[in-house]
Structure formats: structure tokens, C-alpha cells
Amino acid sequence: MNHSAPIDSLPQPATQRSAISLDDVRRVAGDIQASVAGVIEGKSDAIATAVVVLLAEGHLLIEDVPGVGKTMLAKALARSIDCTMRRLQFTPDLLPSDVTGVSIFNQDSHQFEFRRGAVFAGIVVGDEINRASPKTQSALLECMEENQVTVDGQTYLLQRPFMVMATQNPIEMEGTYPLPEAQRDRFMARISMGYPTAAAEMRMLDLHSAHRPLDALRPVADAALVLRAIEAVAGVYASGALRQYIVDLVTATRTAPGVRLGASPRSALQLLRAARAQAALDGRDHVLPEDVQRLWIPVLSHRVIMGGDASGRSASDTLAQLLERVPVPAHAR
């Protein structure tokens, strides 16, 4: 088949497959985490968040200085799952069609045929996403939101699981186009790697100087298994009291002092989804306030914009304060 692929010819979500148990979810997630941890030293929090985002069908924004292993994390996660992985190095001259794909005229068949872009993969690693032009950025971000690509009137569904892991450099450099708020909102969570501890760095030098650990990485799960895990996660129960807690928290960001732009309703939704995944990761069939608290800052920190009168407080500080201040409700109101 070399002509453009219609919707039904693409891999479809396996709805008929039975969901796996939460214990299996925990095991699969544990395997993935262990596998990634073999490559990234001492970053279990970042890895756990990445797995949570994977199981919650979200996208991850990794923001940090160069060289701390952003791309390594993305690649390791992709390799741990036996699914297609594409890497996009964002540059100012990267075109939207490079991301989504393009229809070209086939001289032989005298037909237009669709060449798939980089997003047609299970895991897409977008390096230095803030270096691409806004037009290209928004092409990627549309795919992230819609889980589909529309080119020349034809709509192509993307694979499942589909996860974009974008890295970006926080240091303002020439030729960068920072992601607008609306597009940052599409990422479920933002993590930063941070420098490793001295011990972890030492161990890294010991292990990684001789060979490339990424090469040794063997997949511990396949796309189908991950997909079933994702479906199991969606069934995790969130009680009224807990949903109330999320609403209270998110509402509080909109009135917190120093905040210019509070969290969107989408962030509440994503927080709940992430919390579900977190609960499943702990083998629980229901979400606890602790799950919400654990993911509160990764999920919200890139969505809350501080105003000029914040007197130097970062969004994370404000969010941490809200976590202290907002009471945990005993029941839904």
C-alpha cells in the first residue's frame, strides 16, 4: 500500500481487548521504571512522573539545562516500551509538514500519496521544541490535542499509545520561540531533571563511560500492554470528596495572590487523570489526596502564570503554598 492510508487502515485502539488488573499495571509500570532507571541515574521522581504521564495518556514537557539527560529520559522510556519511536530535532527551519506528513505526487501511479510525518509513532521525542517556528510548534501541538492529523482534507488517526515528550531549554537564547500559554497547557506535566547528586554522577561515570547504556536497553513492555494498562488506569475510582479537592485546589489558583493566570479547567481534568495513573502505579483502585498532592506541582506549574506583583515568587512556590492552605474536604459539596 503506497497510496494515502484511510482511517480504517491504521492500527485501531484495541477496545475489544480485556483490561488488565491493577496489579499488572503496577508490575508493568514498575518494570518500565526500573528499565529507565538503569539508564538515568538517581532521577526516580522524574521517571515516575514520566510513567504516570504515559499511563494517563498525556504528554510530557521536560525543561532543563542542556546535558542533564532530558533526551536520554525520553529515549529510554521509548525503548523500554516496544513501540515505534521518532525523534524530531526542532530547528527554526523545520516545517509543519515534517511533523505531520505531506502528500506528494507519485509519478508512477499518477496519484498523490501521503508521506507520514514524525508524529506517526508511539512515542515522539521533540528536542528543543522552543527552537521551532510557532507554525511548526502548533502543528505538533494540534496532533497532541486531537490524536489525529489532517492533511489535504484527509484525516489520519495517530497510533495509541501516543505520547509526545518535548524538551526545552529554559535559558533564553537567540532564535527561540517560547511556547505560548495555550500550547503549554496541552502538556500534562512538566518536569525538570535537575543535576544528579554527586554519588549518582559518580556512578554514571563508572557505568556509562565504557558503553552506551541505551544500546543495552531491552523493551519490557509492548504497545498493546501499555494500551491495556492505560485502559485499566481510566477505571481507577475518584470519589466525590477527591474530585471536590481537585476543584478546590484548581479554583484556588485563580484567586491566589500574585497569579496572573490561574489554572484552566483542562488542568483539573489532567490532574485527575494523572492522579488516577499515580494511584494505579501504587496498585490502588481509588485515588487519594496524596496522589493529587504528589502530581500537583508537575501538572500545574507550567500552567500558572505569575504576575508582575508576585515579588519574585515562582509558580511552584505559590502552588506549594496552596497545597498547604487548601483544606482536604471530607465530602463533595
Residues of this chain that bind another protein (CB under 8 A): 237-239, 241-242, 285-290, 293, 327-331
Cell (9 digits) for 316:
511552584
If we measure between CA atoms, which residue out of 58, 39, 46, 28 comes closest to residue 223? 28
CA 236 to CA 241: how far, in whole Å? 15
Q: Which is nearer to another protein, 264 or 293 (CB)?
A: 293
Rounded Cα–Cα distance for residues 26 and 212 (Å): 28
Taking the complex as a whole, the smallest distance from the CB of residue 196 to another protein amounts, in Å, to 29
Give the residue with the Cβ less far from another protein, 13 or 289: 289
Three-state SS letters, 210-277:
CCCHHHHCCCCEEHHHHHHHHHHHHCCECCHHHHHHHHHHHHHHHHCCCEEECCCHHHHHHHHHHHHH
How far apart are CB 106 and another protein at their closest, in Å?
Answer: 55
Q: Which is nearer to another protein, 132 or 242 (CB)?
A: 242
Cis status, amide bond into 298, omega within 30 of 0: no
Nearer to another protein, 146 or 285 (CB): 285
Burial class (CB in 10 A: 0-12, 13-18, 19+), 304: buried
Residue whose CB is less far from another protein, 165 or 242: 242
CB of 276 to another protein, least distance (A): 12
